[in-house]
Chain A
Amino acid sequence: MSRYLTRRLGQALLVVSGVVVLTFVVMRLVPGDPAVAFAGPKATPEELAAARRQFGLDDPIPVQLLNYVRDLLTGDWGVSLRTRQPVLDDLYVAFPASLELVGTALVIAVVVGIPVGVLAARYKAKFPDLGVRFGSMLAVSVPVFWLALALQTVFASNLGWFPIAGEYDSSLDTTSPLTLWTNITIVDALITGNWPIFTSTLQHLVLPALVVAAYPTGVIAQMTRAALIEESGQDHSKLERALGFGETSILTRFALRPALNPVLSLIALVFAYAIVNGFLVEAVFNWPGLGRYAAESIKSLDTPAIAGVTLLVALVYVLANLVVDILQGFVDPRARQR
């Protein structure tokens, strides 16, 4: 197990360093002068020179790469050209908001997707199965920004059931200010017992979380169904059937655990996908997360910020995969051999 762990960690490290080098190269390949972006459209030559000095843009490229890596390791992810704050500070604010959204969406996806998948497998080729397959296909293929706009227009604008945009009603900042611990609003509201903000955030979460959840729910349902059907065709299922177990209990008591194995690794992939997918959703719902930050950074060619987001997403992706691989190692010892 420890050899497996070391190998996986090594691979993860390799991927992350690859991303670091790649981001750096892309940052330098983009035409244009980052100093101009920082100093503004009407910068004077003196201001440009000062900005170039500040960002070390006068150094040779290999030196810049070394400095970049050194800075990253010491927790200096550069200064955003747009907000003029350290990128890491910006990410501290934006990332937890994204986690909140994607986390909620994944909970929805798992809670809905797995039972629905089981249902489809139980009634294979019958009406519930067809319904689930159609529904999950729809959930997977509908463009996320379209779904976001549609839900926003119908349920927020026309029916007025949910708020249009934002994370919570900001007037609550006056009446019941929130004490921050994790920076994840809903978690902080919960642990400090700030019910007004908690309920307001929950209301604001519903629509965007449903949109982000659509794709993972569909994928998880399909995968659960497929894996269960495969398992129920295995020898052990035949034995169980011969022993007189009903189909439902074969599926839930014996087939589900091995079937969850691929579903688990899927969740990791879907998690990273959902963060990126959430970018569009965040833009539509004005959710103050990583997506909105990334979108704004890209629009203003804020290379340090873009690099920061890229690196963070890569780290999350690698970490999620690592965690799942390790978990799989527990659930299914065969995975360690792979």
Chain B
Amino acid sequence: MRWHKRLLVAGVTGVLALTASACAGGQVRGAGGTPKPAESGGSSQPAASSAAQANDSTFVYVPNLDVVTDWDPATSYSNEIVAMQNIYEGLTRYNSQEKKAEPRLATEWTSADDGKEWTFKLRQGVKFHSGATLDAEAAKKAIERTIEKKGGAAYIWDAVKTIDAVDASTLKFTLKYATPLDLVASSGYAAYIYDVNAVDKDGKSDAGTGPYTIDSWQKGKETELTLKAYEGYWGGWKPEQYKKVAYRVTPEITTAWQLLQKGEVNFVQRLNPQLFQQAGTTPNVQTASSPSFQNLLVLFNTASGPAKDVKVRQALQYAIDYDGLVAALKGSGQKGNGLVPQGLLGRTNDMEPKQDLAKAQALLAEAGYGPDNPELKLTMTYAQGDDDQKLLVTLLSSALKGMNVTLQAKPMTWSAQWDLGKKQGQDIFVMYWYPDYPDAYSWFVNVFKSADKPQFNLSYLKDSAIDTAIDALPQLTATDQLKADQAYKDLQKKIIQDQAAVAVPYVQTYQRALTSDVEGYVDNPAYPNVVFFYDLKKRAS
């Protein structure tokens, strides 16, 4: 029996060794850390001149997904925008109230030659977190590296022919075709100016100029990322600003809500409608909601199947219960009005859709369908697990049922749905769209311009007049905004009313919940889910 015991010991040791070897040994976790917010421990450090209290608490942001998947500012194209926008800066930043770009690393800019030449004056005295100085040469290198990497949203610079560092503070772009480069430079992705020599894909350090810099990053941990104030920030620091930030990943909404009520976290990115309503009446919690740049598109197959008939498409547009849908969304969406969301150039005000079942039925009858005619079967694909889209499906199919139309709706993962869509495998394709930089052009060039191999043109619209009008948009935006605005409006009439290629039921509304001691929070839809921590203050208690 003795050798049995030895075997047992060997076995147990083996299992232990296996576990141990599967684990990193002896490294110290997290150099930085995340002190709890709100409880600043009553340390009211007397500020020199102002009466403001020093803010030594950490602002805790609760994302529901992993924060960082890509640390390279050139290729980053995912959730990390919520952190990156506080670490990195672009030449400009989009002001969603005034619908235009405003200074950030560039203080002023001019365009010439009908929008094909842009000159940016850079801010003086800006240092990268790496210690290097920002000058035109550094900015040029950063943008050129982003273009070369060809990842993420690098295409936003497609129009650029050459970049010249005229002098230390002057950056000149020569374009292949006119583009509103001030808007491009304010893009949420791929527009960061960074020190090309300091990019670290392991997230130990960063290469930005922004107000915050990486404090610690521990992939997979609950508090995945912490940021700390960059003391040499060009904007300077005031005592009441938050000097520390933490991202505490909490996928479960109810958990996030409980943490917020306890004051353990400061900002919850998204609650469900019920909890959001509750949050509105909870002491110590404030809520904020604002329209986003993300809308739902219901794309009809204009190329084949029954929806090839424009009358069927128009009937479908009339069959959607827009008001019912928005009511059921309980504030997390508002009615669409054309393709362009509020806050972007090209917004129309007279295209609000309305359900009209009588008109729908009449149009169907004209197309040879309806109660007295053979049954019409339509296939529809939408996002699996998306309750809002499912709501649309339910409302639409019940409306159509009365008209002898059967909707065969299939929930699918994006990759499967997209695969099928590229093969023209459905009559109705439901998806969200949002622009990469705050410009409505994104909807038109990606979704409605003719394509032999459809990528996002999933209504398969092919109309050379529309294509020509779409191609003219960037130049108009860069040179004559009034004309551009009109061109956008005309195009939307063509695409939505004449062609009936799409219905736009609603624009998503961001619903945030914050602790009530946070002051100065404004949602900027051009940077989805980003909180600009630098703009916030902690209310003195």
Chain A residues proximal to chain B, CB less than 8 Å: 1, 30-37, 40-42, 44-47, 82-85, 89-96, 99, 149, 152-153, 156-157, 164-167, 169-175, 177-184, 283-286, 288, 292-293, 295-296, 299, 301, 319, 323, 326-327, 329-330
Q: Are A92 and B32 in contact (CB under 8 A)?
A: no
Q: Are B250 and A84 in contact (CB under 8 A)?
A: no
Q: Are B155 and A31 in contact (CB under 8 A)?
A: no
Closest CB of chain A to B229's CB: distance in Å?
15
Contact partners of B255 in chain A: CB under 8 A: 152, 164-165, 284-286
Closest CB of chain A to B480's CB: distance in Å?
29
How far, in whole Å, are A30 and B415 apart by their CA atoms in the complex? Answer: 10
Q: Are A174 and B33 in contact (CB under 8 A)?
A: yes
How far, in whole Å, are A170 and B31 apart by their CA atoms in the complex? Answer: 12
Closest CB of chain B to A96's CB: distance in Å?
6
Closest CB of chain A to B268's CB: distance in Å?
13
CB-based A-B contact count at 8 angstroms: 182
A-B residue pairs in contact (CB < 8 Å), sample of 13 = A1-B4, A31-B415, A33-B419, A36-B415, A36-B418, A47-B151, A96-B22, A164-B259, A165-B222, A179-B28, A283-B251, A284-B254, A326-B8
Q: Name A176's closest neighbour in chain B (CB-CB).
A: B33
Q: Are A82 and B69 in contact (CB under 8 A)?
A: yes
How far, in whole Å, are A173 and B222 apart by their CA atoms in the complex? Answer: 12
Q: Are B11 and A164 in contact (CB under 8 A)?
A: no
Q: Are A296 and B414 in contact (CB under 8 A)?
A: no
Q: Are B34 and A170 in contact (CB under 8 A)?
A: yes
Q: Are A330 and B4 in contact (CB under 8 A)?
A: yes
Q: Are B221 and A93 in contact (CB under 8 A)?
A: yes
Range class of the B interface residue count? 35 or more
How far, in whole Å, are A164 and B531 apart by their CA atoms in the complex? Answer: 25
Q: Say whether B107 faces chain A, with CB atoms less than 8 Å apart.
A: no
Contact partners of A95 in chain B: CB under 8 A: 22
Q: Say whether B219 faces chain A, with CB atoms less than 8 Å apart.
A: yes
Contact partners of B30 in chain A: CB under 8 A: 170, 173-174, 177
Closest CB of chain A to B540's CB: distance in Å?
22
Chain B residues proximal to chain A, CB less than 8 Å: 1, 4, 7-8, 11, 15, 19-20, 22-36, 65-66, 69-70, 77-78, 150-152, 155, 216, 219-223, 246, 248-252, 254-255, 258-259, 261-262, 264, 385, 412-419, 436, 453, 455-456
Q: Name B75's closest neighbour in chain A (CB-CB).
A: A47
Q: Name B456's closest neighbour in chain A (CB-CB).
A: A42
How far, in whole Å, are A83 and B68 apart by their CA atoms in the complex? Answer: 8
How far, in whole Å, are A48 and B375 apart by their CA atoms in the complex? Answer: 39
Contact partners of A36 in chain B: CB under 8 A: 414-415, 418-419
How far, in whole Å, are A8 and B282 apart by their CA atoms in the complex? Answer: 59
Q: Are B251 and A173 in contact (CB under 8 A)?
A: no
Contacts A42-B436, A173-B34 aside, 17 further interface pairs with beta carbons under 8 A come to A31-B415, A33-B418, A47-B151, A82-B69, A83-B220, A90-B219, A92-B22, A95-B22, A157-B262, A164-B258, A164-B262, A171-B34, A173-B30, A177-B29, A180-B23, A296-B66, A330-B4
How far, in whole Å, are A170 and B29 apart by their CA atoms in the complex? Answer: 11
Contact partners of A288 in chain B: CB under 8 A: 220-222
Contact partners of B220 in chain A: CB under 8 A: 83, 90, 93-94, 288, 293
Q: Name A165's closest neighbour in chain B (CB-CB).
A: B255
Contact partners of B258 in chain A: CB under 8 A: 152-153, 156-157, 164-165
Given contacts A36-B414, A296-B251, contact A183 B24 (CB under 8 A): yes
Closest 10 pairs between A and B when the two form their complex, measured CB to CB: A174-B33, A32-B415, A32-B416, A173-B33, A183-B23, A36-B415, A173-B30, A93-B220, A31-B416, A171-B35
Contact partners of A89 in chain B: CB under 8 A: 219
Given contacts A36-B419, A165-B255, contact A180 B35 (CB under 8 A): no
Contact partners of B7 in chain A: CB under 8 A: 326
How far, in whole Å, are A34 and B26 apart by their CA atoms in the complex? Answer: 36
Q: Name B77's closest neighbour in chain A (CB-CB).
A: A40
Q: Are B414 and A41 in contact (CB under 8 A)?
A: yes
Given contacts A36-B419, A37-B415, A286-B222, contact A326 B11 (CB under 8 A): yes
Contact partners of A31 in chain B: CB under 8 A: 412-413, 415-416, 419
